[in-house]
Amino acid sequence: MKKHSFNTIALTLAGFLLIPLGAQAHGSWLAKIHGEHTVMYGHHESMTDPYDPAKIVDARAFKNGQKAAVKIVPHEQRYATLETDNPGLLGCVMDNGLWVQTKDGKWHNKPKDAFNASEVTLAQHSYKYAVSYLNDREPVNALGYDLEIVPAVNPAKLKKGDKLSVQVLFKGKPLPEAKLSSNFFGDGEKLTTNAEGRAEVSIARDGFNTLSVGHATEQSGDKAKADKVSMSSSLSFRTHKEQKK
């Protein structure tokens, strides 16, 4: 993982709003930046686009198989970190709000009823889930998020090229035909889960890995605001070779 000054990144981006074009392709994942468990948002593994830290609406942690306390800490109104005592498993939820794509292809962080119906091609409420294994000793646990990639074994035990069986869960139940990527940041396997929501992926590389999956459902709430609920979920870890002694 490349080392960049996170403060420098934050200051560089401080004068900009979230760019609506392509915003729905953004992902969220967890990474340790200068010793802090940072909620990342964007496309690059060591850099984050700015976001309102109030969008991080849930955080959960496990240590040695037991639930642990975790606190969401906002920074400069541009990003959030998770404060907890040396966990082995960490997760969070980003409520990324309402997004509308207009006929010109642009995305807007607004509700559907802010536009004329003829302008709108897609309107959705976006949620992003992130789970991270932080050592190779932590037992596997499902955190109970609406969309989650649950590994059969702690993936930090593995190395590049090893096979990892995973199960994608939607609201606690297996999700068949989910589209799964073994590497959110670049070339990797693109897989589809079977009837039990399972797939077997190859670890894409040594070092930092992030698997990702997406899913969408019809909006059950106010259809004037959005037509669909769009979800993405990530599973990140460092391979065994990269674990610090």
pLDDT at 12 > cutoff 90: no
pLDDT single digits (tens) 48-99: 899 999 999 999 999 999 999 999 999 988 999 999 999 999 999 999 999 9
Share of the chain above pLDDT 70, in %: 88
3-class SS string, the chain: CCCCCHHHHHHHHCCCCCCCCCHHHCEEEEEEECCEEEEEEECCCCCCCCCCHHHEEEEEEEECCEEECCEEEEECCCEEEEECCCCCEEEEEEEEEEEEEECCCCEECCCHHHCCHHHEEEEEEEEEEEEEECCCCCCCCCCCCCEEEEECCCHHHCCCCCEEEEEEEECCEECCCCEEECCCCCCCCEEECCCCCEEEEECCCCCEEEEEEEEEEECCCCCCCCCEEEEEEEEEEECHHHCCC
**pLDDT tens for each residue of 33-59:** 989 999 999 987 777 899 999 999 999
Q: Residue 173 pLDDT > 70, yes or no?
A: yes
Q: What is the pLDDT, as a whole number, of residue 241?
A: 61
Mean pLDDT of 203-224: 91
Which band of pLDDT confidence, cut at 50, 70 and 90, is reported for residue 245?
very low
Q: Which residue has the higher pLDDT, 44 or 5?
A: 44
Reply yes or no on whether the pLDDT at 11 is more than 80.
Answer: no
